[in-house]
Amino acid sequence: MHTGIIVPKIAAGVDWRGFARPGDLRDPRYAASDHLAIGWGEKAFFLETPTWADVKLRTVVASATGSDAVLLHVEHLAAPVTGSDVRAVMLSEREYRRLAGYIAATIRPGAGLSGLCRL
């Protein structure tokens, strides 16, 4: 029930490899995957809400009003396959760089795109 954005680790001059380093993983073998799934949101949604049936009113209220308890979820993945749970969004290089810049700024305020790009 959680949503994330899946990005290639290297594309359009954007390099996410330094963001999710192998040494930061419990099992560094996952770093060999060529994509990252990035999701962020209210802590209770990630930790206490595996299905819609588990949603609690206090979690919804905290999410809707701006909770300070926010988590970032990053997962190393193989190239995604579109299906009922995965939708493809085609972006131009410029649009992708803009999206990557937004994600980077959201994760690390003020970081912008420069920390991810090798120009």
pLDDT single digits (tens) 32-51: 999 999 988 778 777 888 88
pTM of the full predicted structure?
0.76
Radius of gyration of the chain (CA): 15
Name the pLDDT band for 55 (thresholds 50, 70, 90): confident
Q: CA 114 → CA 52, 72, 102, distances in Å?
A: 38, 20, 11
Residue 108: pLDDT over 80: no
Percentage of residues of the chain with pLDDT beyond 90:
34
How far apart CA 47 and CA 70 sit, in angstroms, is 11
Name the pLDDT band for 109 (thresholds 50, 70, 90): low
Q: What is the mean pLDDT of residues 5-12?
A: 94
Among candidates 82, 79, 63, which has minimal Cα distance to 71?
63
- Report residue 42: phi and psi, to 5°: -65, 135
The helix (run of H) or strand (run of E) holding residue 11 is strand 10-11
pLDDT at 46: 78
